[in-house]
Amino acid sequence: MTTEAMITVFPEIEPYRTGTLAVDALHTLYWEECGNPDGQPVLFLHGGPGAGTSPAHRRFFDPAHYRIVLFDQRGAGKSTPLGEYRNNTTPLLIEDIEKIRVMLGIQQWLVFGGSWGSTLALAYGEAHPERCLGFILRGIFLCTKTEVEWFVNGMQYFYPEVHQQFAEGVPEVERGDLLQAYVKRLFCDDPAIYTEAARNWSRYEGSCLFLKPQAAAIASFESDEVSLGIGRLEAHYMQHGAFMDDDALIRNIGKIRHLPAVIVQGRYDVICPPVSAYRLHQAWPEAAYHVIGDAGHAAMEPGIAAALVRATEDFKIQQRFS
């Protein structure tokens, strides 16, 4: 995290409560609450899928005002089993969110999500609009076929050397369909094979996160505790179109258009290019739309972090007068 980014977000805090929730016979989720136990509830949805939460994610919210709820989605972070793709679909993640909400006794909450978190936030909102106070969405990913193709092959136009390294992770004869070549390895039974494939996949993404690539971010994405969740689950969800009809999130946007929303997008986001955020804003013109001119994809790009904090501060005012 850069010094400038650290200034724009709130100070580090620790959870006042943590726990686990078994959502089926296979998956157990890690969850935590931070901030004000009597405050305005806000749900943080991490990216990936599979990336998990981190202490930095608590820092977009004023802890004196917000009751901040974070959890690691199935197969991610501290949830177990790590990297587990079985029983792992968007409808099941939506059910998990509702189980957490009911468990915590929350009636409605603000929903905050970036990258895959924006995908899940929209899917959850369209399934349960009555539970949402509004949305803060960053680095929009709608998980359409076009976006998946861009991630797997299009990023080479900006990061050719990074993409070449990604492609070289599979035999040359299989490079015509990189997604399936990686799926074959990520979901095999040999830990040595799927661990290496996951590390290659995660390194590919981590190398393209920031406007100016950061060695610490790349190293984090290469670690086993991060890469296994990211590599396996991103490939799993991309292979299956996030278990939704193509472009379903745009076609169903009418279910949440009456709710307040803020869209924050880096102009030079190579992982989730601005065209997706623009399409979302065209379908949802009531949403505030902020393009950050000197930023890539990462939430901790200084301009993006500042815009996200401004959005959470603005929602405090909206809630006060609603």
List residues with catalytic annotation: 115, 269, 297
Q: At 69, which helix (H) or strand (E)?
A: strand 66-71
Pair 297, 147: CB distance under 8 Å: no
- Minimal CA–CA distance to 23: which of 108, 84, 97? 97
Instruction: Give, for 66, the enclosing helix (H) or strand (E).
Output: strand 66-71
Which two tokens mark 248? 């379903």
CA torsion sign for 264, 267, 271, 274 is: positive
Q: Is the dihedral of CA 90, 92, 93, 97 positive or negative?
A: positive
Buried b (16+ CB within 10 A) or exposed e, 23-48: beeebbbbbbbbbbeebbbbbbbbbb
CA end-to-end span of the chain: 35
Any idea what the Cα angle at residue 253 is, between residues 280 and 67, rounded to 5°? 90
Is residue 272 within 8 A of residue 244, CB to CB? The reply is: no
167-173: list long-range contacts, CB under 8 Å, 24+ apart.
Answer: 169/196, 169/197, 169/200, 169/201
Sequence letter at residue 157 = Y
Rg, Å, the chain Cα set: 18
**Phi (first) and psi of residue 155, to 5 degrees:** -65, -15
Which tokens sit at 42?
Answer: 């806000």
